[in-house]
Amino acid sequence: MNRYTGPLGGVLPVFQTPYLESGEIDYATLTREINWLLECGSSGVVMAMVSEVLRLTTAESRELAQRTCEIVDGRGSVVVSVGGESIKIAEENALHAESVGATAVMAIPPVSIGALEDELLAYYEAIVDAISLPVIVQDASGYIGKPMSIAMQAELLHRFGAERILFKPEATPIGPRLSALRDATEGKANIFEGTGGIALVDSYRRGIVGTMPGADLILGIVALYQALEAGDERRTYELSMPISAIVAAQHSLDAFLAIEKYLLVRQGIFKNTIVRGPTAYRLDKETIAEIDRLFDLLCDVLEKT
């Protein structure tokens, strides 16, 4: 198993975790998913919120991180989510991720409390001090918690440098806050778009190093990122419209899980749409029909040369 040592950026999809009918993780399907993501042009993979990390046992999470690094085997970056409800948990998660070959770690704040700012700063400092890998600060307040202050995030970069501290901002308003973080760090911050691709075009124009979308739309996201880099405005918007419409339907974490797994089954990557319960959302027939129409539109655009 090789650790990837290239640049951290580009399209880094957050993989979905597949399950057997028994409820255990389906590693054969995970292998197919990760290989497919890399073949589609991904720069690596991410194990994070839509990988259902909050619904895995500690043993499952550790094994999933290790197996993911083994499957990727140096062909791209592996980013592992290590956030926890205490500094001790986050430190141990980060140390484990480094030991199994992760390229970088990503950490959400504790989810059960709205930590005081100085406490949150100490939390991230402890993670950075525990390992030698880059740490991506994930403001996951679109799902949980409260937005992190721009000043606190900038302070982390000023203390540890842009090679050690990166960002995945998700608090609204996405665009203005991304620009504020960029400006507060004198343009040094390495920032990932983290809204499933719905804000990719705007975020790219504000200055990002990559995107962390879901796995289901990987073909469209890779093509969109390439269009942005090529300055192809027409293709950029032809691709971004159906992508944004699909992501707009993913209004919660469980909606992301349900729709992404549905589309992974449709593309022949997953065998089922099992999500660990309890869940807060189920797809209905009308939503499925609309997702199918939008995905067909995306496929039509992708077929154009």
What three-state secondary structure class fits 117?
A: helix
Residue 212 marked as a ligand binder: yes
- Cβ neighbors of 283 (< 8 A, separation 6 or more) are 258, 259, 262, 291
Place of tokens 């948990």: 89
C-alpha span between 255 and 218 (Å, rounded): 18
Strands 104-107 and 44-47: unpaired
What three-state secondary structure class fits 138?
A: strand
What residue type is assigned to position 69 of the chain? C
DSSP character at residue 18: P
What three-state secondary structure class fits 77?
A: strand
Q: Which residue intervals of the chain are DSSP H helices? A: 27-39, 58-72, 87-99, 117-130, 150-160, 174-184, 200-206, 218-230, 233-248, 253-266, 285-303
Give residue 247's Cα distance to chain centre.
14
Q: Pick out the residues of the known binding site.
A: 212
Q: Pick out the residues of the known binding site for pyruvate.
A: 212
